[in-house]
Amino acid sequence: MSELASSFAHVETWVFDLDNTLYQARHRLFDQIDERMGTFIASRFAVDRSEARRIQKDYFFRYGTTLRGLMSEHGVKPNDFLEFVHDIDHSVLPADEMLAAALDKLEGRKLIFTNGTVAHAESVLNAAGIAGRFDDIFDIAASDYEPKPAAEPYRKFIAETGFEPKSAAMFEDIARNLEVPHGLGMVTVLVADTENHDGAMINHLNGDAEGAPYVHHVTDNLGEFLHRLVHQTNSEELNA
C-alpha cells in the first residue's frame, strides 16, 4: 500500500475547515470578508482603515478570530459582526468538479468545522458545487463563539458529532489549528495555498510552517490531494 493511502486507511471521519480550505484562496473570496471586517471596525470605532486593519489583525493573531477579540475587549454582539462581514459575493467561486468527485468517492462521514457561520458555509458549498456532501456543519455559534485553536471548541465539536478522533483526519489552512487534532490522534493535513497570505503570515509568526511537528501532510490544492488519495486507495483495493 502506498504511504499516502496507508496513512488514511483507518480514517472513518473526514473533518474540513471551510474558508481557504474547501475553496482555493486564489479565488479571493476571503478577501471580501477581510475587507468588510475592516469596514466594520473603522465604522464602529471611528478610526481610519490603517488603524482598523491593525486592530483586526491584532485580534485575529491573539484571539483566533477578530470577532473573539471584539467580543472580549469591546462587547461587540457576534450576530451584528457576522451578518455584516459575510454579506459578500459568493459567486466568485467556480464549481470545483475535481473536489466534488473526490468527496463523492471518499468513504465515511464528512464534517465541516468552521470559525464562520452555517449560513456562510452553505453559501460556499453551493457556489463551489459541493453542497449535499457533508453530514454536519459545526460553526462558531455552536462553539459559543470560542474559536479554534482553543481546545474547548474541539471538545464540543467531537461531543456533538460523536466521532472517534483516532479514526479521523482534519484539513485546515492554518497550521496552529491542527495542533489539538494532532494531540487527539487525528491525521492532519495543512492546505497551504500560496495565495493565502493571512494563513502564511500566521503560520510564520507562530513557527507553524510546513514542517510543524503536528502537520502530517501538506497540499496546496485540496481537490487534487483527495483525488490522488481516493485513486490510490481504490486502485490498491482492486489489486488486493
Over residues 151-184, the pLDDT tens digits come to 999 999 999 999 999 999 999 998 889 999 999 9
Q: Which ranges in the chain are annotated with CATH 3.40.50.1000?
A: 3-24+94-239
Please tell me the pTM assigned to this model. Answer: 0.91
Element (H, E) at 16: strand 13-16
Q: Where in the chain is the domain with CATH 1.10.150.450?
A: 29-85
The CATH class of 3-24+94-239 is alpha beta
**pLDDT at res. 198:** 58
Polymer length of the chain: 240
Interatomic CA distance for residues 39 and 51, integer angstroms: 11
pLDDT over 70 percentage in the chain: 90
pLDDT confidence bin for 238, thresholds 50/70/90: very low
Over range 200-221, report the average pLDDT: 70
29-85: CATH, from 3.40.50.300, 3.40.50.1100, 1.10.150.450, 3.40.50.10170:
1.10.150.450
Looking at residue 195, what is its pLDDT?
A: 61
Please state, in angstroms and as integers, the Cα–Cα distance from residue 192 to each residue in 30, 49, 173, following that order.
Answer: 15, 28, 6
Helices 29-45 and 66-74 meet at what angle, rounded to 10?
Answer: 20
